[in-house]
A and B are shown apart, each in its own frame.
Chain A
């Protein structure tokens, strides 16, 4: 008992000394000597979809400008928007453009800078079917609305005369987590189907009329792989890197297009004229012979007023670099690169930052 008391007393004494030490320790008079004098840290947060390319960009840019460090947290578009609104990061990133109502909640003005392109495609698992299926917009909307329930429905067999489709029930799979992928998919369905637009609409999560939810691309493709006669949707990068079977989708010119980096960039080019007024337009179902219809930009959200001149210069220089050298790195990571007309529009927009 005595030793216990002694040890308690000893602990208390140590605690008291530590506290005193904390109170009276001198303030560090100079910053850490290792860092260069003009070292600049920029914080950003947002979308997870472009994280691989963003982290590559920020890393490469740091090599060119060793004093500038951009720290990007891929916490999701919603989180990025919140942090930007609260002013805890210097810029944000979102897979989904902010609408006017959301912009009005900010205390400052924002510019959207499209950075890379992504695409979403239907993947399926039908026992006995090894051919690539062709999907019309009506077929995809019908399946996801729960109105087309069998694989041998005329809406599906029509464009696929050579494929022997079974009369089995279609099992619909969608993303359960809120995601830019779901936003693009539902944005597309809203454009091609008035029914979808009225009853479901588009968002990062929606109220699905039918189907099972899988978490992430891996969750959706996992369920599609496990359940026969199922259909799901996944991101281009995920489908390419995991060699998933995916179908062609009919574009606004009536041609069936397979998603690829080229057809995705073609879709963005088809929308470039409209982007002169506002880059926030959706590029699903875009015009153009070779345009893949289900794709979208992902955006950096940059405040128009950056009060710190060093940060302002660093961010604008980064944007210039991203639109030039940065674009040469995107296709190696399976992102679609920005078409030239869009780069020109964005170059002009950089001058609005002051």
Chain B
């Protein structure tokens, strides 16, 4: 009851309050009445909510992976054994597979997506551009299991019978393209991922390119640049940060993709230099084994894999941002 009397005392009008605080409260009330403060508050709550969900996610992953962190420590990151029977777990082949498949996907999807975006934004007639973009954006709405099924029944046989023999005969001197050809493996997973992330790169990059002020193009053309020179030397550099943003989005998608990858990667936790070899990814092993994982250490090791994937995404994104800073020397002046 003491609390409530205190509260009433404070609220009683006429009680002297420091003038500064009262002024602040009054001005806050005014802003509240005008609606600005409410909008500010509501959007702040939304932003804080998303941030808190992320924090909570990491905290839960951390909290629920006590056993493997205790038992394996840092060795979890650098050992290659994954043995549910004798309860020995290491994440290295999965980290390797995740990085390699995402790298293959980006190598293919970035030139393809950015090139197509330049064509659609700068060179194609607007009507064709809108129609094509609509169709390509539909790709982003296709469920990943469909990509996986197409991958296993169409892409994998094609990769085994055509792509891999071609790569082996032309570039077979590289260790990347050696060894037996199964169809399933890093290469097939990278190809499926590339198809899946192209719409993200294309759609965002096109919007960013379209947002470049017309004056930029006109100035370049007025100085005597050809249309391609204006596009490549003025418009694309102007939109560079936005295009890179689309690549980050695509990278995050590739790192976390589960269903399509597990259907074509071969699911064999080995580290091989050849892209033809079967591998495994972090997201795939979690999806594969979590539902039927008996035993606390086994289950928690899979949860720690989730944490590893989170950290990996964090590190790769950070590295990519550093790379941009280092190569351009400029920050993010164009949004």
Contacts and interface: CB of A to CB of B under 8 A. Distances in A.
Interface of A: 4-6, 8-9, 12, 48, 75-79, 81-82, 95-96, 98, 102, 105, 169, 171, 176-180, 200-208, 211-215, 219, 222-223, 226-227
Nearest to A213: B267
Contact of A9 (B35, B82, B156, B267): B35
B262 A222 contact: no
Most buried by A among B34, B39, B268, B294: B294
Given A78-B299, A178-B293, A201-B85, A215 B182 contact: no
Given A98-B294, A177-B291, 15 more contacts: A5-B36, A75-B291, A77-B291, A78-B293, A178-B291, A180-B292, A201-B85, A206-B84, A207-B83, A208-B268, A215-B267, A219-B152, A219-B263, A226-B152, A226-B157
A227 B290 CA distance: 28
Contacts of B35: 4-6, 8-9, 12
A102 B284 CA distance: 26
Contact of A206 (B83, B182, B284): B83
Contacts, number: 117
Contact of B156 (A178, A208, A213, A226): A226
The 9 closest A-B CB pairs, nearest first, are A213-B267, A76-B291, A178-B292, A176-B267, A201-B85, A8-B35, A207-B83, A177-B288, A204-B292
B86 interface: yes
B199 interface: no
Contacts of B296: 105
Contacts of B299: 78, 82
B38 interface: yes
Contacts of B86: 201, 207
Contacts of A212: 182, 184, 266-268, 278
For this complex, into which size category does the number of interface residues on chain B fall?
A: 35 or more
Contacts of B266: 212-213
B153 interface: yes
Given A211-B268, A223-B152, A226-B152, A179 B292 contact: yes
A207 B298 CA distance: 13
A206 to B, nearest CB: 5
A229 B292 CA distance: 30
B85 A178 contact: no
14 contacts: A4-B35, A8-B36, A9-B35, A12-B35, A78-B294, A171-B182, A176-B284, A201-B86, A205-B288, A206-B83, A207-B84, A213-B280, A214-B267, A226-B152
Interface in B109-156: 152-153, 156
A96 B294 contact: yes
Nearest to A204: B292
B85 A200 contact: yes
Contacts of B287: 177
A211 B268 CA distance: 7
Interface in B289-311: 289-296, 299
A5 B288 CA distance: 51
Nearest to A183: B292
Nearest to B185: A212
B28 to A, nearest CB: 15
A234 to B, nearest CB: 15
Nearest to A169: B180
A215 B86 CA distance: 22
A214 B280 CA distance: 11
A105 B295 CA distance: 10
Given A207-B85, A219-B152, A176 B262 contact: yes
Contact of A207 (B34, B82, B160): B82
B180 to A, nearest CB: 8
B302 to A, nearest CB: 9
B183 A5 contact: no
Interface in B42-94: 81-86
A227 B294 contact: no
Contact of A205 (B180, B263, B289): B289
A48 B34 CA distance: 57
Contacts of B157: 226
A212 B183 CA distance: 11
A10 to B, nearest CB: 9
Contact of A177 (B85, B180, B292): B292
A53 B284 CA distance: 29
A201 B156 CA distance: 31
A215 B287 CA distance: 10
A95 B296 CA distance: 18
Most buried by B among A95, A96, A98, A219: A219
A226 B335 CA distance: 47
Given A5-B34, A205-B289, A102 B263 contact: no
Nearest to B153: A222
